[in-house]
Structures are given as C-alpha cells and as structure tokens.
Amino acid sequence: MDRPVALVPHTTARRIQEMIRASELRQGELLPSQRELSEHLDVSRSSLREALSVLETLGVVQTEPRRGTRVVTAEASAGPDLHRWRFAKRYSPSEVYQFRFVTEGHAARLAAVRVPPAELAALLQNLKDFKDAVREQDLVASSQLDFGFHRLVMECSGNRVFADLYGSYGSVLLESQRLPLTQRERLWEPVTEHENVVHAIEKRDPDGACYFMHVHIMRAADRGGIALSEAV
C-alpha cells in the first residue's frame, strides 16, 4: 500500500512552477541538472524527482531521454498523455476510475445522510480554495485540492474502510486527478461538478449527491483521455 501523499514533493512542484512563471526557468529551455536544482531548492533528489513527475503529468515539463527535463511551451502543452501514467505496472487509469466511480458515488450518498457541520464546513472551504486555485491556474494546488475534496467526501461518508483505502492509495488516486488538468480549456468544469456534489450533500440529498459524483467521475475520465465505457 502507498503512503499518504508527501508534502515536500508537492511544495517543490509549486516552487518550480513559480520559477517558470517568473521566467527564472524559461519555456523551451532545459532545467538545470537534478543535482543543481535540488541544491538550489534545498530538497532531496528523490523529492525533486517526484515533483518533476507531478509537473510532467500536468504537462508543465517534459523529460527527454539522455537530454534532461525541458519546460514545455504553451503551444506544446496539449492534452493528457497516458504514457506518463506512472503506475502502469500495477493499475491502468481505467481501473482507478472504475474504483472511484463505485466507491465515491456511494461515499457521497452516505455523506449526504450523515455529514456533521464541521465536515460540511471543511467541504465548503475546500470548494472555495479550489475555485481560487483554478482561477489562478495553479495546477499543482488544483490537483492537491481536488484530491483533498475526494478524500473529504470519503471521510464524510463515515465508512472508515473508504477513508483508509483513499489514504493508503493516495499517490495513485492523486495521479488520476492530475490527468484531467492538462485540458487547460476545461479547468473550470470540475469546479462546477464539485459544487454540485457539495450542494447536494448540504441539502441532505443522497440520490443527488451520488448522481453528481458519478457525473463528475465520468467527466473527469473523459478529460483525462479515458474512454467512458472503460471507466464505468
């Protein structure tokens, strides 16, 4: 089982993203060597490699064999590339989305029945933060907040097995949530979908919460380049 998603690689990915935005690392150019970059950022090479993997999944950088890692230009940042899927030897993206469709739909239903005020407040705050991150096109923060939203729904379900599974396989599930974010023109879609789920939970509407979560997972699969017939 996987450990919970690490904070250091996530923070490192955001710092690299900020360096690209500030033109310290220019689009189309190769990044410094991993040794130089890890020393500059004061992180281990393993954390740096994880951070670069995050950014590659999002289409921000691209690793070229025997050359290094290059900052991707805006024109080259197309749609999702499933060849970047890091867990291919264990699970396919469609398998992960099948798991999410079944478990998260039911978790949303349970959450609408029993969510306490404090957990509902956490969902509403996550939705606000997610909107802010998407408006700023902060893809690293967006993927982390997206993961946080789905983890919160699992916890709100009151089913500890759901919550533990989401924690145990956090890195795999987070990776699946990064794939759709490469579709830059569709970044706002998951915000609306999250909002529908949260409002259904807030209204204590279990059928609506389940329905809107299923719609969200199916559309996320589509944004991630995964055929809907494979995901459900």
At residue 17, the pLDDT reads 84
Say if residue 113 is in the same domain as residue 166: yes
Say if residue 101 is in the same domain as residue 171: yes
pLDDT value at 90 more than 60? yes
The last residue of one of the domains, among 53, 77, 101, is: 77
Who has greater pLDDT, 89 or 228? 89
pLDDT grade for 95, boundaries at 50, 70 and 90: very high
Domain that holds residue 167: 83-231
Mean pLDDT in residue range 143-159: 94
Say if residue 212 is in the same domain as residue 183: yes
Mean pLDDT in residue range 2-21: 73
The last residue of one of the domains, among 52, 77, 102, is: 77
Who has greater pLDDT, 43 or 184? 43
At residue 86, the pLDDT reads 78
pLDDT value at 110 more than 80? yes
55 token code pair: 């950014």
Say if residue 148 is in the same domain as residue 210: yes
Q: What percent of the chain has pLDDT over 90?
A: 49
pLDDT tens sequence across 192-225: 999 999 999 999 999 999 999 999 999 999 988 8
pTM of the model as a whole: 0.78
Q: Does residue 190 lie in a domain region?
A: yes
Q: Do 179 and 225 form a contact (C-beta atoms < 8 A)?
A: yes
Question: How crowded is residue 190: how many other Cβ atoms within 10 Å of its Cβ?
Answer: 22
pLDDT value at 28 more than 90? no
Say if residue 91 is in the same domain as residue 71: no
pLDDT tens sequence across 29-68: 899 999 999 999 999 988 898 888 888 877 788 888 888 8
CATH number at residue 56: 1.10.10.10
69 forms beta bridges with: 63
Mean pLDDT in residue range 179-187: 82
At residue 204, the pLDDT reads 97
pLDDT value at 1 more than 50? no
Q: Does residue 1 lie in a domain region?
A: no
At residue 96, the pLDDT reads 93
Give the dihedral sign, CA 173/74/215/97: negative
pLDDT grade for 75, boundaries at 50, 70 and 90: very low
Look at the chain and report how many structural domains it folds into: 2
Q: Does residue 2 lie in a domain region?
A: no
Say if residue 68 is in the same domain as residue 97: no
Mutual angle of helices 93-114 and 206-223, in 10-degree steps: 160
Cβ contacts of 187-193, under 8 Å, gap ≥ 24: 187/134, 187/137, 187/142, 188/134, 189/219, 189/223, 190/130, 190/134, 190/146, 190/216, 190/219, 190/220, 190/223, 191/127, 191/130, 191/131, 191/134, 193/219, 193/220
Say if residue 169 is in the same domain as residue 120: yes
Report d(CA 123, CA 132) in Å as an integer: 14
Q: Residue 61 region, left (φ>0) first, then alpha (ψ -120 to 50), else beta?
A: beta
Q: Residue 28 region, left (φ>0) first, then alpha (ψ -120 to 50), else beta?
A: left
CATH number at residue 131: 1.20.120.530
At residue 232, the pLDDT reads 58
Say if residue 122 is in the same domain as residue 158: yes
Say if residue 171 is in the same domain as residue 95: yes
The last residue of one of the domains, among 61, 77, 93, is: 77
Say if residue 132 is in the same domain as residue 203: yes
Say if residue 63 is in the same domain as residue 121: no
At residue 18, the pLDDT reads 85
pLDDT grade for 74, boundaries at 50, 70 and 90: very low
Q: Does residue 13 lie in a domain region?
A: yes
Say if residue 180 is in the same domain as residue 143: yes
pLDDT value at 123 more than 80? yes
Q: Does residue 177 lie in a domain region?
A: yes
